[in-house]
Amino acid sequence: MKIVIIGGTAGGAGIAARLRRLDEQAEIIIVEKNPYISWSGCALPYFTGGIICERNNLFLANKEMFDHRFNIKVLDSTKAVGLDRAAKQVSVIAVNQPHAKVTTISYDKLVIATGAGAIMPGFAQNKDGVYAMRCIEDADQIKAYVAAHDVKHAVVVGGGFIGLEACENLKHRGIDVTLVEKAPQVLAPVDPDIAQYLHRELDQHGVSLKLGVGIADIAKTESGLTVSLDNGEAVETQLVIMALGIVPQTDFIKDSGLKLNSRGYIEVADTMQTNDPDIYALGDVVAVQGVPEDRLGTIALAGPASKQSRIAAHNLLGIGLGPQGQLHFKGSLGVSIVRVMGLTAGAVGMNRRALAGQPDVAEVTVHTPHHVSWFEEAKPVHLKLIFNQKTGLVLGAQAVGEVSIDKNLEVISALMQMHATVYDLVDFESAYAPPFSAPRSPVNMAGSTAANVVDGLEEMITVEQFDELRKSDPDLVCIDVRAPDELELCKLPGFINIPVDALRAQHKKQPFDPNKTYVVSCQVGVRGHTAACMLRHFGVKKVYNLSGGYVSWCTAHYQLRH
């Protein structure tokens, strides 16, 4: 059997190696447009920023290793330009050879793992000083340009993962940065309240944020570049990094009859097979059909691509398929994480935007130390849980903080793989010792808080909901139940102070009005829960606990300085 693989990065290299481990006799050929294979695109921002010093560290393997270890032929610097399914041939051409001619490669089975390219508007193309960050050549050019032009200021367009990493690494090199993002927030997988922690972190590190505004043009000037924004503002700079997102690289198959969706992604079954039984596809270039509605079928992450490569290899060869007859990709929960200056932020599952309009969706936010608070250097974990308030099913989670973010999100991800409810988060056993966790980990705390909501023991209100409620209800009573000395440093405007330990005495002195609506708050929400329970026992019919307390309120109302 002759197997041709188009694309030699994570997905393509992964399936090639897996195919060889399963079948020693197959002829396997990788066609890769770059002069290298199996390299780490995720490392590019850190290479440009000088955190990764050695260029060779970007490469995970090379064509010689694939030849000697796996007996796999790699045609590097070779680009696929056409596909003839009837003849079972791929048309290719040598890259960077002016007089190269198109040739064909026959196949018995074909795997498409071409990935995705950077979105580059016409006004940004072929301009010196304007670069994407999608391939090693991009990183090389950025480093060379910064050195040659003594760059002091850069504009990053796009506040997703690559854009945020670009900001951090440019600042690491001592370059001032302006970040332009069309959406009102950075990092689309998280909700605005979690993104606000990143806004504050970027702002406090001197990054100028232009949120809710797009880019209209880039013009070359004598002193550098002028970036024109769609609100009429112009930013003078020396370097522009375009991080607007990606587009699947499927141009060479558009006339082949392979089924593409409206966005240009190859439609595959959950077996990774296309509408042609002899062609499989995987990675950033595919949209997987038939995955559960709470999972993603299109996602540009190396982890899902690696899983897809294993599934496709087994199904293509018909080896090791197990009792179901074929292996199936179950979709992705979209577990993602990014470092932004001193913070780490990440998400798993659905966010509020994706769940808009769905019934019974609730959320809680907890702010709890990553280990016991009395142990050295306890750092807060800001963890948000989204769930169905009737069934308790966990729908998603988001977290931000200095440490332990990956651990907590991975725990929730593992539980969500098994369709966990908030009660499973309550029951989760963490590895407890003072330097590592607490008897009740952040996951336990989020689960317990959410379980109170599902059990009808508490009604939570987010800062956004509270701000709206205060506008609509002039009789709303807001009580801050912290101790008076805490209020000396940070007050909640419009709240009266009744410490939680004084609530019973206050009720005896002047009973709380059972017909008014109350909102209680503390520092992070724990004492607020106790206070809300008291008020309900005192006969108050409607009482909310401000989710996350003062910490959530203060973050939500942070005003940018730059």
Each residue's pLDDT, cut to its tens digit, for the chain (562 residues) gives: 999 999 998 899 999 999 999 999 999 999 999 999 998 889 999 999 999 999 999 998 999 999 999 999 999 999 999 999 999 999 999 998 888 999 999 999 999 999 999 999 999 999 999 999 999 999 999 999 999 999 999 999 999 999 999 999 999 999 999 999 999 999 999 999 999 999 999 999 999 999 999 999 999 998 899 999 999 999 999 999 999 999 999 999 999 999 999 999 999 999 999 999 999 999 999 999 999 988 999 988 888 999 999 999 999 999 988 777 899 999 999 999 999 999 999 999 999 999 999 999 999 999 999 989 888 889 999 999 999 999 999 999 999 999 999 999 999 999 999 999 999 999 999 999 999 989 999 999 999 999 999 999 999 999 999 999 999 999 999 999 999 999 988 899 999 999 999 999 999 999 999 999 999 999 999 999 999 999 999 999 999 999 999 999 999 999 999 8
Same domain, 190 and 214: yes
Asked if residue 23 belongs to a domain, the reply is yes
Q: Residue 532 sits in a domain of what CATH number?
A: 3.40.250.10
pTM: 0.94
Rg (CA), the chain: 27
Whole-angstrom Cα distance, residue 540 to residue 333? 40
Asked if residue 341 belongs to a domain, the reply is no
Q: What is the dihedral of CA 551, 557, 558, 562, to 10 degrees?
A: 170
Same domain, 127 and 101: no
CB-based burial label for 387 (10 Å; 0-12, 13-18, 19+): buried
Same domain, 386 and 292: no
Whole-angstrom Cα distance, residue 114 to residue 79? 10
Whole-angstrom Cα distance, residue 94 to residue 140? 22
Asked if 202 and 117 touch (Cβ cutoff 8 Å), the reply is no
Same domain, 59 and 203: no
- Contacting residues for 299 by C-beta, under 8 A, at least 6 apart: 332, 334
Asked if residue 136 belongs to a domain, the reply is yes
Same domain, 492 and 549: yes
Q: What domain range is 372 assigned to? A: 350-454
Please state the domain count of the chain.
4
Asked if 193 and 383 touch (Cβ cutoff 8 Å), the reply is no
Residue where a domain terminates, one of 186, 213, 244: 244
Same domain, 430 and 354: yes
CB-based burial label for 68 (10 Å; 0-12, 13-18, 19+): exposed
Residue where a domain terminates, one of 244, 275, 302: 244
Same domain, 189 and 234: yes
Helix residue spans in 207-337 (DSSP H):
302-317
Asked if 115 and 249 touch (Cβ cutoff 8 Å), the reply is yes
Q: Which residue has the tokens 């074929």?
A: 326
Same domain, 370 and 477: no
Same domain, 110 and 253: yes
Q: Residue 429 sits in a domain of what CATH number?
A: 3.30.390.30
Same domain, 35 and 67: yes
Whole-angstrom Cα distance, residue 74 to residue 32? 7
Q: Residue 188 sits in a domain of what CATH number?
A: 3.50.50.60
> Bridge-partner residues for 239, per DSSP?
154
Three-state DSSP at 3 gives: strand
Residue where a domain terminates, one of 454, 485, 507: 454
Asked if residue 32 belongs to a domain, the reply is yes
Same domain, 131 and 219: yes
Asked if residue 231 belongs to a domain, the reply is yes
Exposure string over 239-270, b if 16+ CB within 10 A, otherwise e = bbbbbbebbbbbebbeebebebeeeebbbbbb
Q: In what order do the strands lie in the sheet with 109-112?
A: 73-75, 27-31, 2-6, 109-112, 279-281
Asked if 273 and 280 touch (Cβ cutoff 8 Å), the reply is yes
Asked if residue 418 belongs to a domain, the reply is yes
Whole-angstrom Cα distance, residue 47 to residue 318? 40
Asked if residue 84 belongs to a domain, the reply is yes
Asked if residue 325 belongs to a domain, the reply is no
Whole-angstrom Cα distance, residue 373 to residue 380? 9
